[in-house]
Amino acid sequence: MTTEETATAVPPAEAPAAEAPAAAAPAKEKAPKAPKEKKEKPKQEPKDKDAKKSGGGAAGGDAKGLGLKNSKKDNFGEWYSELVVASELISYYDVSGCYILRPWAYAMWEVVQGWFDKRIKALGVQNSYFPLFITEDVLNTEKDHVEGFAPEVAWVTKYGNSVMEKPIAIRPTSETVMYPYFSQWIRSHRDLPLRLNQWTNVVRWEFKYPTPFIRSREFLWQEGHTAFATQAEAEKEVHDILDLYRGVYEDLLAVPVTKGKKSKKEQFAGAFFTTTVEAYIPETGRGIQGATSHCLGQNFSKMFDIQFEDDDRQKQHVWQNSWGLTTRSLGVMIMTHADDKGLVLPPRVAPKQIVIIPIPKGSAAPETLQAMMDKVDELSKSLEAKDVRVVTDTRNNYTPGWKYNHWELKGLPLRMELGPKDMDNQAVMLCRRDTGAKEVVKWEDVPARVPELLETIQADMFAAAKARTSGCTEVCHSFEEFMAALNNKHMALTPWADEEAIEEEVKKRSTTPDAMGAKTLCLPFEAPPLPEGTKCFYSGKPAKNWALWGRSY
Ligand code: 87F
């Protein structure tokens, strides 16, 4: 059991809360263009109010008892910045574009890691670790592909007071780090497939406006790098991994994504082809790349001389893939589900899935109080035995109302209340974070009902997000329809003749004084039929496939 307990006794619901203990926030937080973190301080509740009705006021909240000052609908950017700090996911840091992932955020990253790691190992991938630093010479082996990215590479140029003889790059990605060793380790077909992954940080000195999780100069990710004897094996893996990425988003984070291929213009320059999962944020009307799985073909094996001897003793270049998923996934999940009261976490990724809050009467006799506390303990243990992640909040210096707001801000999928009436009825009240729906459950039914309800919440959150995204995707057959969809903050699904020059033109023509141009997010693998004679929405030429377009992050 995890408990937020600071003392054994619980305060009466109708008594004003005592002064809060100091919150963990440091005194000074530099947050360039972002809200300052506030010290957590429980609001005092009126004496005569029932705890269930009173607002309390969450950490960083306002007097009305709402979790956040900004609203998701009216000022999305400010809402998001305020949310990630108030819910204790992020602290701003004095290097611009870098953020501290606090335990609440890191615990979710660990869930994502655990989910994905288990599955790639089942496919035969092994974890390893390669160094953070890259010499200039090695980075330049891949010059053609690095060129476009060069402005983002960070360099170490000094140690102590001395200037480095040769500056050393900090990895923005590890192709150039790993592939020289692939070349050494792969000799014969018996050394294949070689399938490595690493969980690391990377640094890309971006100049676009940074956003916690979504775009930061240092971020956490996994990068998979694999080598095969045949194209068929490599291509199979590209799709296996892409489906795992879909699983991370849809099955774990309850975020709908579209699987597809990147257009030639949008794919990784070093790739033979790039596949992607694309998500969408309705409030901003922008698509966002969730993760990518590349088939590199033999491009890198030719550059890095990675060859094997086949059965006939013939030398052949290996087929390679690379694939990556970052902490951005958490940002997309947060943006998708959170509301004006705070985070709304899908049960499967929530570090804690249910909070149990006792609500004793102020006048309760010590035995009555003890009986309630014993029940909290018993219920908690019975849920933990079912692998439910439980926290009990028996702190006596916060009122129940304040606690409700606090745990709503943190996004716990369920709250369990246990008051004097519930004790009499041998029941608890369960309250859903996603819908606010409440239900009374008998004590004996709790261990079965809670896990079932958590799965229902998970499914309902995904279904709701999927319905929102589907409602924001418009099939367009002309540029006029296309612009109307974009201006409606929607994505456009169009028949497409797949011409790079046209994609450039569409981007330019869809750029307005206050909105960026649209690009292809992907050519979806699942799309409506494309009857013979269907014309490209822009050029009028015969369409080759469907393209999903949108303004994007
Ligand atoms: C930034 C600086 C230098 C992206 C960069 O997508 C190089 C690069 O190569 C760079 N930003 N990329 C492409 C990364 C390709 C690939 N690497 C492995 C992935 C997935 C994981």
> Which CATH number belongs to the domain containing residue 373 in this structure?
3.40.50.800
pLDDT at residue 142, as a whole number? 78
pLDDT at residue 50, as a whole number? 33
Once rounded to an integer, what is the mean pLDDT over residues 378-405? 97
> Over 50: is that where the pLDDT of 456 sits?
yes
Of 142, 149, 220, the one to substitute when testing ligand 1's pocket (max ligand atoms within 8 A of C-beta) is: 149
Regarding whether 494 and 437 lie in a shared domain, the answer is: no
Q: What is the mean pLDDT of the chain?
A: 90
Regarding whether 545 and 442 lie in a shared domain, the answer is: no
CA of 89 relative to ligand 1 center, distance in Å: 26
* More confident of the two residues 31 and 197: 197
Ligand 1 pocket member 292 (CB < 6 A):
yes
Residue with the nearest Cα to atom 17 of ligand 1?
173
Regarding whether 282 and 363 lie in a shared domain, the answer is: no
CA of 550 relative to ligand 1 center, distance in Å: 22
Ligand 1 pocket member 324 (CB < 6 A):
yes
User: What does the alpha-carbon distance between residue 324 and residue 175 come to, in Å, rounded to a whole number?
Assistant: 12
Ligand 1 pocket member 101 (CB < 6 A):
no
Q: What is the CATH number of the domain that holds 305?
A: 3.30.930.10
Ligand 1 pocket member 149 (CB < 6 A):
yes
Q: Which atom of ligand 1 is nearest to the CA of 221?
A: 21
Residue with the nearest Cα to atom 13 of ligand 1?
268
Once rounded to an integer, what is the mean pLDDT over residues 285-301? 98
Q: How many domains does the chain have?
A: 3
Q: Indicate whether 30 belongs to any domain.
A: no
CA of 125 relative to ligand 1 center, distance in Å: 20
Ligand 1 pocket member 290 (CB < 6 A):
no
pLDDT at residue 21, as a whole number? 31
Q: Which residues contact 366 (CB under 8 A, 6 or more apart)?
A: none
pLDDT category, 67, cuts 50, 70, 90?
A: confident
Q: Indicate whether 464 belongs to any domain.
A: no
311 burial type by CB count under 10 A (0-12 exposed, 13-18 middle, 19+ buried): exposed
How many CB atoms lie under 10 A from the CB of residue 77? 14
Q: Domain range holding 403?
A: 354-456
Of 147, 149, 173, the one to substitute when testing ligand 1's pocket (max ligand atoms within 8 A of C-beta) is: 173
User: What does the alpha-carbon distance between residue 412 and residue 458 come to, in Å, rounded to a whole number?
Assistant: 12
Of 35-44, 130-139, 152-161, 524-533, which gets the smallest average pLDDT? 35-44
For 285, which DSSP code?
Answer: T
Q: Indicate whether 480 belongs to any domain.
A: yes
Regarding whether 248 and 140 lie in a shared domain, the answer is: yes
Regarding whether 150 and 105 lie in a shared domain, the answer is: yes
> Over 60: is that where the pLDDT of 522 sits?
yes
**Which two three-digit tokens encode residue 73?**
């609908």
Ligand 1 pocket member 245 (CB < 6 A):
no
pLDDT at residue 4, as a whole number? 56
Q: Return the percentage of the chain with pLDDT > 70, whole number.
A: 88
> Over 50: is that where the pLDDT of 40 sits?
no
CA of 443 relative to ligand 1 center, distance in Å: 53
Once rounded to an integer, what is the mean pLDDT over residues 365-381? 97
Q: List pLDDT tens digits, range 193-230.
A: 999 999 999 999 999 999 999 999 999 999 999 999 99
CA of 235 relative to ligand 1 center, distance in Å: 19
Regarding whether 125 and 244 lie in a shared domain, the answer is: yes
* More confident of the two residues 536 and 20: 536
Q: Compute the 3-state secondary structure of the chain and give helix, strand, coil in percent, each to the nearest 5.
A: 35, 25, 40
Regarding whether 490 and 414 lie in a shared domain, the answer is: no
Ligand 1 pocket member 268 (CB < 6 A):
yes
Q: Which atom of ligand 1 is nearest to the CA of 269?
A: 13
Q: Can you give the three-state secondary structure of 434-477, one letter per residue?
A: CCCCEEEEEHHHHHHHHHHHHHHHHHHHHHHHHHHHHCCEEECC
Once rounded to an integer, what is the mean pLDDT over residues 338-367? 97
Once rounded to an integer, what is the mean pLDDT over residues 246-250? 98
Do 42 and 398 meet the contact criterion of CB atoms below 8 Å apart? Answer: yes
pLDDT at residue 141, as a whole number? 84
Regarding whether 375 and 262 lie in a shared domain, the answer is: no
Q: List pLDDT tens digits, range 317-346.
A: 999 999 999 999 999 999 999 999 999 999
Once rounded to an integer, what is the mean pLDDT over residues 39-65? 37
Q: Please report the beta strands in 40-121, taking only residues with DSSP state E, as ranges in sequence order.
A: 90-92, 99-101
pLDDT at residue 1, as a whole number? 54
> Over 70: is that where the pLDDT of 36 sits?
no
pLDDT at residue 20, as a whole number? 31
pLDDT at residue 5, as a whole number? 45
* More confident of the two residues 220 and 11: 220
CA of 100 relative to ligand 1 center, distance in Å: 23
Ligand 1 pocket member 224 (CB < 6 A):
no
pLDDT at residue 2, as a whole number? 55
Among 421, 456, 491, residue at a domain's last position: 456
Q: Indicate whether 365 belongs to any domain.
A: yes
> Over 50: is that where the pLDDT of 57 sits?
no
Regarding whether 322 and 372 lie in a shared domain, the answer is: no
pLDDT category, 362, cuts 50, 70, 90?
A: confident
User: What does the alpha-carbon distance between residue 455 and residue 457 come to, in Å, rounded to a whole number?
Assistant: 5
Regarding whether 498 and 442 lie in a shared domain, the answer is: no
Regarding whether 301 and 207 lie in a shared domain, the answer is: yes
> Over 70: is that where the pLDDT of 58 sits?
no
Ligand 1 pocket member 304 (CB < 6 A):
no
Q: Indicate whether 8 belongs to any domain.
A: no
CA of 21 relative to ligand 1 center, distance in Å: 45
Q: Indicate whether 67 belongs to any domain.
A: no
Helices 446-470 + 366-384 axis angle, to 10: 60
pLDDT at residue 13, as a whole number? 34
Q: Indicate whether 349 belongs to any domain.
A: no
Q: What is the CATH number of the domain that holds 506?
A: 3.30.110.30
Of 13-22, 257-266, 309-318, 320-329, which gets the smallest average pLDDT? 13-22
Q: Indicate whether 206 belongs to any domain.
A: yes
Residues in the chain: 553
> Over 90: is that where the pLDDT of 72 sits?
yes
Regarding whether 130 and 238 lie in a shared domain, the answer is: yes
526 burial type by CB count under 10 A (0-12 exposed, 13-18 middle, 19+ buried): exposed
